[in-house]
């Protein structure tokens, strides 16, 4: 099965809803291929950005190229903030069809592209703030014996999005990972 690596190199947001009343937001992003929890990766916490955070990181996914061409894959960005006493508050989320990222031709000299701004939908369903990111697409390679599954997004979430993109499949899985490193946050941590 033909695949490509999709690497997100930086993420930033503007004018997010402030989910903390008495303290500054400590925001981070959980990114995954929609409906594939095994691909979940997390950015470091931005303690200074408040409602306009920025993360420089390296988040890699291996993407099934056939599924992306058929518009059955999407990136799911979940923006969260650390609260008082370890509580985590949801700021909002964004779905980005991967097909739209692969179709672009506006790459700079280093092969990096800036995605357009996407509205952040907060937990109440209203749009508040925008999210943007830069990404790179790697060369095509072949993965044998890849498992294919098709599962739609949960019915209760993003009904208008689901109507348009209801044939989601799991990606090939997370990007290549060396055996001696752990990727629980952006970038490698030596074990």
Burial of 87 (0-12, 13-18, 19+ CB in 10 A): exposed
Which residue segment(s) compose the domain that 66 sits in? Answer: 2-176
In a domain, 185, yes or no: no
HSE-up of 56 (CA within 13 Å, CB side)?
0
CATH of residue 140? 2.60.40.150
Percent of the chain with pLDDT over 90: 50
- DSSP state, residue 155: T
Over residues 13-34, the mean pLDDT reads 92
In a domain, 148, yes or no: yes
Is a pLDDT exceeding 80 seen at residue 65? yes
In a domain, 103, yes or no: yes
In a domain, 86, yes or no: yes
- How many domains is the chain built from? 1
Contact in structure between 111 and 102 (CB atoms under 8 Å): no
Which of 21-25, 27-31, 64-68, 95-99 is predicted least confidently?
A: 21-25
In a domain, 61, yes or no: yes
Average pLDDT of every residue of the chain:
78
Element of type H or E holding 69: helix 65-69
Nearest residue to 157 (alpha-carbon basis) of 87, 68, 95, 72:
95
Which is more confident, 143 or 58? 58
d(CA 13, CA 122): 13
In a domain, 19, yes or no: yes
HSE-up of 71 (CA within 13 Å, CB side)?
8
Contact in structure between 172 and 149 (CB atoms under 8 Å): no
Looking at residue 127, its pLDDT comes to 95
Looking at residue 81, its pLDDT comes to 95
d(CA 147, CA 170): 9
pLDDT tens digits, one per residue of 104-161 = 655 555 577 888 899 999 999 999 999 999 999 888 899 886 655 444 444 333 344 4
d(CA 39, CA 177): 12
In a domain, 184, yes or no: no
């Amino acid at each position: 099965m033909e695949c490509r690596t999709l690497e997100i190199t930086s993420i930033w947001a503007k004018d997010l809803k402030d989910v903390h009343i008495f303290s500054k937001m400590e925001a981070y992003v959980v990114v995954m291929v929609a409906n594939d929890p095994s691909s979940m990766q997390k950015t470091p916490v931005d303690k200074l950005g408040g409602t306009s955070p920025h993360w420089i990181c390296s988040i890699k996914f291996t993407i099934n190229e056939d599924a992306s061409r058929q518009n059955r894959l999407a990136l799911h960005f979940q923006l969260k903030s650390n609260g008082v006493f370890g509580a985590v508050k949801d700021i909002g989320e964004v779905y980005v069809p991967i097909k739209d990222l692969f179709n672009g031709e506006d790459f700079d000299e280093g092969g990096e592209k800036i995605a357009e701004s996407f509205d952040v939908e907060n937990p109440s369903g209203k749009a508040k703030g925008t999210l943007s990111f830069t990404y790179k697409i790697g060369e095509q390679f072949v993965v044998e014996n890849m498992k294919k599954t098709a599962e739609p997004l949960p019915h209760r979430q993003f009904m208008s999005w689901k109507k348009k993109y209801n044939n989601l499949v799991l990606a090939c899985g997370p990007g290549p990972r060396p055996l001696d490193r752990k990727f629980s946050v952006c970038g490698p941590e030596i074990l």
